[in-house]
Chain A
Amino acid sequence: MVYDVIIAGAGPAGAVLAYLLAQRGLSVRVIEKSRMPRYKTCGGSLTFKAIQNLPFDVSPTYELRAAGGIMAYAGREMIRLELECPIAWLIMRDHFDHYLIQQAVQSGTVFSDGLTIKGYETVGAGIKVHTTKGSFKSCLLVGADGVNSVISRSAGLLTHRKVGIAIEAELVVPDSVLQEQDAYATFDFGALSYGYGWILPKRDHLSVGVYHARPGKAANIKQDLQNYIKMNPVLNENKPISIRGHHIPLGGQKQRLNNDRVILVGDAANLADPWLGK
């Protein structure tokens, strides 16, 4: 079978694109290297503007509604901002991304997870995508496979990529700490140089992380996270259940994001804001 579109990657960009195309009758296959649901390093704040751009309701994935923001400096609270209108909801990316791809499948998308793409070749008027478990043909190929995109490299697109880095710990904390944090998202621009730290509450734990926005200067990012946790004594007593890192593409430079048969979307297209890494 020759698909109209093959999409590499089942993150938000790939899953939403698959949903929109399948809804309009195109034959779509999504190939994801991880088994879903899978953990993803991400603060997990789903902003109001993101929800407005989604083609379906995602409220079943909400963990908490952000009640406000705490601006801190080097662990010291400076101001607590109350929100009158909804600004963001807090989610876990494993649950959220899984939900999105389920919606795409329900709209007619064929989905394969646990399949790694090795590369692709142009064959006549189409594309042949090679994976660890065989090849698939399509008219178009979309790279939604993240900041380390195989499709981008294979297509020779975005050869000059600037990246920041984020590292995050999921902390199980006592109920008293969860109650203290309430539904407030903390942002701390004194947590490290050229970046910020965050504490985002989830239903039963806290996501604590740091983001470094200067490419190539983040050699001590793990130490930065440990320092940030130490700045907040209530966090320091709790052992993280996981620590994961992730590169953040730093957008803002015009580069070609397509060729005759290939399009890049999301992180694969370097589309993140260099200020907040969102």
Chain B
Amino acid sequence: MTIYYGIKSANIAANVILKYFENGSGDLDKYTDRINTQIVHQLAYARAIAGLVYCFPHFGTVLLQRSDLLQSAVLNIVRGDLNFQQLASTLILGLPRILTQALRQKRLTNAQLTPGL
């Protein structure tokens, strides 16, 4: 399942191992440091987002259905144009806009469904 982080960790490992052999005996601890900085830090944000999404799955899906800001953010996270930290910021800072879009969309839908309006 986890192709992207596998490939990214392989790239980081290759850099550290090549330095190790260039210097005769290098320091492999740099690998853990870099993984923590470049990957684990982001996954901690993903863990927090997972907690939110999985506690309120229907609410999250409806928001996604109605907010183009949220749609764009989710597509960008999959594509790699946003990282999880940036997604968390987008969710927090963009929450008023996401909720406004969701409410406006609901009113539009109700108006379309209600005869005479």
Contact = CB atoms under 8 A, between A and B. Distances in A.
Contact of A273 (B5, B29, B57, B64): B5
B86 interface: no
A17 B71 contact: no
Given A4-B21, A140-B17, A53 B7 contact: yes
A229 interface: no
A252 B50 CA distance: 11
A71 B64 contact: yes
A277 B2 contact: yes
Contacts of B57: 73, 189-190, 193, 196
Contacts of A78: 61-62, 64-65
Interface string B33-70: 00110011011111101100110011011101100000
Given A13-B9, A81-B71, A275-B46, A263 B31 contact: yes
B6 interface: yes
Given A20-B10, A266-B5, A271 B80 contact: no
Interface in B16-36: 16-18, 20-21, 28-29, 31-32, 35-36
A250 B6 CA distance: 13
B17 A274 contact: no
Contact of A13 (B10, B31, B40, B45): B10
A67 to B, nearest CB: 13
B106 interface: no
A140 B20 contact: yes
A201 interface: no
B32 A190 contact: no
Interface string A259-278: 11111011101011111111
B1 A248 contact: yes
Contacts of A195: 54
A31 interface: no
Given A48-B80, A271-B5, A254 B47 contact: no
Contact of B46 (A83, A190, A273): A273
Contacts of A20: 10-11, 14
A256 B46 CA distance: 20
A110 interface: no
A165 B4 CA distance: 18
Interface stretch (A39-47, A114-122, A175-183, A230-238): A39-47
Given A213-B50, A269-B35, A48 B79 contact: yes
B13 to A, nearest CB: 5
A271 B35 contact: yes
B113 interface: no
A85 B75 CA distance: 10
A251 B61 contact: no
A24 interface: yes
B79 A274 contact: no
A10 to B, nearest CB: 11
A206 to B, nearest CB: 17
B117 interface: no
12 contacts: A21-B14, A78-B65, A88-B79, A193-B57, A253-B44, A254-B36, A256-B32, A263-B31, A265-B9, A275-B50, A276-B46, A277-B1
Sort A-B residue pairs by CB-CB distance and give the 3 closest, nearest first.
A49-B80, A266-B6, A13-B6
Interface of A: 4-5, 11-14, 16-17, 20-21, 24, 26, 41-43, 46-50, 52-54, 69, 71-73, 78-79, 81, 83, 85-88, 139-140, 142, 144, 166, 189-190, 193-196, 211, 213-214, 246, 248-254, 256-263, 265-267, 269, 271-278
